[in-house]
Structure 1
């Protein structure tokens, strides 16, 4: 009887190893040989699914966006209150959890080296489009239509800035400080009252 192979699970493991290599060593660390070594198999274990490093990176973007969509759907299901849903989304978007920090370390390293990897540009465009769509959706009804795009830009820049600071200064930009910053930003743009509770 032929052995059943979980192809989706194998692809997912390859992408997860790739993300770990990116987070710790950047693009130079990501080779098909090293991914295979980390998985404990031969190069063909990887090339069966991904013939090139670019193919792995393309799928990394697709898989992360799919994971993000599911995680955001789970967050949104937790409350019907729009401001709380926005706060929970921002808490998710910031690197307040170990897995999110590792994901952002990988993303920032890829960003720094994107000139040497043509597929990286498409990856970042997909990430940005997904983040902006989510922000727009979470802001609808909380800001007027005229201000919506400005507030989307403001929150996008703020999340990116805090993320970079959290990666650069992990001990200084603690999860608590990141969440306090996000709440203060929502107060500043008039979405929350100054005396609203912090998470």
Structure 2
């Protein structure tokens, strides 16, 4: 009788190995062989689930986004409506855990990917969903123009992601949170 494999767990293991490689060697270090070695198996162990390097990158991005969606969902659910925009914006300014590795991966995908890239499509969809989450939070917070507020906060946060890679000592959670808080207050009041 064949061994039952937990597909979600296997994909998560492959995603974590992919991110470990990105952290150590950058996106150029990601290959099916490198991921297989990292998880202690053959290349077939990887290609049975993800047949290409592009699929490895897409899987890593999807895994990270799913994790973030769970986190931000809890943050939104626990916040009073009037505070949701500030809470979501603060959450998006995190520079803890593997946030820097993921931002570096995302930026490399954005800079290198072909227009039909699966990973690029996942990033684009996530950006749109994040902007929509900001619009909902802005509306809940009483912003006069929730769409404009969401657009502005979205653009500022995306700029922060690049800045946090350029100069991580200067642009981190501690330095950016007060800026984001002030921006949100200006936009809501």
1:69-114 Cα distance to aligned partner (Å, 9 max, x none): 211121123222422x222211221233132222212211222212
Residue 12 of structure 1 and its aligned partner are, at CA, apart by: 0.5
2:128 alignment counterpart: 129
Pairwise CA distance, 1:29: 1.7
Partners of 1:102 and 1:121 in 2: CA distance: 17
Residues 84-95 of structure 1 correspond to what in structure 2 (within 5 A)?
85-95=84-94
How many pairs were matched up?
Answer: 188
| Structure 2 residue ranges without an equivalent (≥5) | none
Q: Give CA deviations for 1:89-141 in whole Å, capped at 9, x if unaligned.
A: 11221233132222212211222212397223312211211211211111113
Which residue in the other structure is 1:53 paired with? 53
**148, 154, 157: which one aligns with 2:155:** 157
For 2:24 and 2:122, how far apart are their aligned partners in 1? 19
SS at match of 1:115: coil
Coordinate RMSD, CA, aligned: 2.2
Q: Which residue of 2 aligns with 1:11?
A: 11
Q: Which 10-residue stretch deviates more, 39-48 or 19-28?
A: 19-28
Return the alpha-carbon distance in structure 2 between the equivalents of residues 98 and 36 of structure 1: 24
Q: Which moved more, 1:98-107 or 1:168-177?
A: 98-107
Which residue is equivalent to 2:179? 181
- The match for 1:33 is 33
**Contact persistence 1:32–1:47 (CA under 8 A):** yes
CA distance in 2 between partners of 1:39 and 1:52 (Å): 16
Distance 2:58 2:185 in 1: 38
Which structure 1 segments of 5+ residues have no match?
193-199
Matches within 5 A, 1:104-115: 104-115=103-114
